[in-house]
Structure 1
Amino acid sequence: MSHASDPAATPERPRKKRNPVWSAVREIVIIVVVALVISLLVKTFFFRAFYIPSGSMEETLQVNDRIFANLMAPGPFELNRGDVVVFRDDQGWLPPIPAPASTPVSDFFTFVGLAPDPSNQHLIKRIIGMPGDVVTCCAPDGKLSVNGTEITESYIYPGDNPSDTEFSATVPDDKLWVMGDHRGASADSRFHEDLQGGFVDISSVEGRAAVISWPLDRIGKISGHHEVFENIPASAN
């Protein structure tokens, strides 16, 4: 005979039924929180969205393209000639812009890094000269040269010259010489020699442009065309 203290004699308590609606809501909340954390980590350490407002990088990038830039270059990954980089307008190349209108939705997407921050002025150009390089234009055949070696720039906008203005620039330490692919529509290093020689601080670089994310028919990798620079000798400095 079983005693009252025997577990076999204790009636099984009915299990409390789980509310399926609350369970679904809780799962959704967990998924959203995890997604936000991942987005913030990606925005902070890996990638950030940017918007292309002008045609200075055509045909590589078109007006209204959305891109993602790799924030680990410079950083764990080095910058190289040919890289397309996004950098802060620390030297005042651009005119001031009015404060943009915002909505809670746009502010949210900007906060998590899925939309560009319209309050910060950025530019996007291609690196032509690294620290120590001597960039010159133009050779007798109209080409640009780096460290005395002429390059054939396959990415230049069709019909454009490498440069319509002559220049010779020796890139200082911790600086870059940058130019737009649409040379006839790009106010780049050539046109800002009054602002620290037209050079961009490496510390101003936010990241290397990696992919076009919008529009859908243009999704793809942004090429550095490093083959253009593969025969460039090391700088003398």
Structure 2
Amino acid sequence: MAESAVATAAGGESSRSPRRRVVTAVLGVVLLLAGGIFLALGYDQHKVGTEVMAPSFDGDHTALVDTFSAGGSGVRRGDVVVIRGGWPGTPAGHLFTLRVIGLGGDKVSHASGSGVSVNGKALTEPYAHGDDNTFGAYDITVPEGRVFLLGDSRSIAVDSRTYLTADSGTLPVSHIQGRVAGTAWPLWKLADDPGVEARFPTHMIASAVTVLGAALLIGAAWPRIRKAAASVREKLPRRGTKESW
């Protein structure tokens, strides 16, 4: 009777195991598709290409661009954006990676020996370095529907300061291709830019969901993978044996 109970328990366990693997596989597919589709539809990749945003985003980094914010939707002061140029002499369609300092109606100013101020309040810029005086002093009001942009590396950045005579150096909000949420590469810099107000890490959650889905699929298929690997090993010639003729 005890043997019968053990057999029944073993049979129940073996019958449940395939069902668990199917459920795990289905869940893995759902998570993998959900995370992957969200990332594919909501995010793009952009090669930074220059050192004007270093060290937050180096020239060899690939930025992860939140395209939900294209056209400036939800963009705040301090955000790093990818924006299509329109400054005099810049190549048509060229994309810049720069930080939004002023929005429409903001008064942005800089005097020799001081930092950048917005609406009379000095900015705290832990991300900025280099000489703020490279392009001299300025005191402008950002026209409505436009943004004033600076690079983090103030000594070398070509930004709004370079084109102050053209619409106060600003570009249209409509030129914004998206907000830089982090880096697509290298992966260990996926987190948000630490220099601005923290955002809900949507891209990190979507990435984690995608990875979890892939892990569940591999886990569900692991018995078959292990069996296939064992079968391949059995077919391989063993060391120390010779084929007979």
Same fold at TM > 0.5: yes
| Aligned partner (choices 141, 148, 170) of residue 120 of structure 2 | 148
Is residue 142–residue 161 contact of structure 1 (8 Å, CA) maintained in 2? no
SS in 2 for 1:183: coil
Matches within 5 A, 1:9-24: none
| Aligned partner (choices 153, 175, 184) of residue 155 of structure 2 | 184
The separation in 1 between residues aligned to 2:150 and 2:44, in whole angstroms, is 22
For each residue in 1:156-202, what CA deviation from the matched residue of structure 2 results, as whole angstroms up to 9, or x when unmatched? 12xx1334311111001000000000001101000012433310100
Match for residue 174 of structure 2? Answer: 203
Q: Alignment identity in percent?
A: 25
Post-superposition shift, 1:206? 0.6
| Aligned partner (choices 122, 136, 151) of residue 95 of structure 2 | 122
Distance 1:190 1:213, change over 3 A: same
Post-superposition shift, 1:221? 2.0
Distance 1:93 1:128, change over 3 A: farther
User: Which structure shows the bigger proportion of residues in helix conformation?
Assistant: 2
| Aligned partner (choices 104, 125, 142) of residue 131 of structure 1 | 104
TM-score w.r.t. length of structure 1: 0.62
Matches within 5 A, 1:50-129: 50-74=46-70, 77-91=73-87, 94-95=90-91, 121-129=94-102
| Aligned partner (choices 110, 132, 142) of residue 162 of structure 1 | 132
Match for residue 25 of structure 1? Answer: none
Post-superposition shift, 1:87? 0.7
Q: Which runs of 5+ in 2 are unaligned?
A: 1-28, 199-245
Is residue 82–residue 95 contact of structure 2 (8 Å, CA) maintained in 1? yes
For each residue in 1:42-83, what CA deviation from the matched residue of structure 2 results, as whole angstroms up to 9, or x when unmatched? 55x511110011001111110110111111115695111000
SS in 1 for 2:90: coil
Match for residue 113 of structure 1? Answer: none
The separation in 1 between residues aligned to 2:71 and 2:161, in whole angstroms, is 27
Is residue 71–residue 176 contact of structure 2 (8 Å, CA) maintained in 1? no
Post-superposition shift, 1:86? 0.5
Q: CA RMSD in A?
A: 2.7
The separation in 2 between residues aligned to 1:74 and 1:68, in whole angstroms, is 13
Question: Aligned pairs, how many?
Answer: 165
Distance 1:68 1:83, change over 3 A: same
The separation in 1 between residues aligned to 2:141 and 2:96, in whole angstroms, is 22
The separation in 2 between residues aligned to 1:220 and 1:77, in whole angstroms, is 21
The separation in 2 between residues aligned to 1:176 and 1:134, in whole angstroms, is 11
TM-score w.r.t. length of structure 2: 0.60
SS in 1 for 2:53: coil
The separation in 2 between residues aligned to 1:91 and 1:70, in whole angstroms, is 24
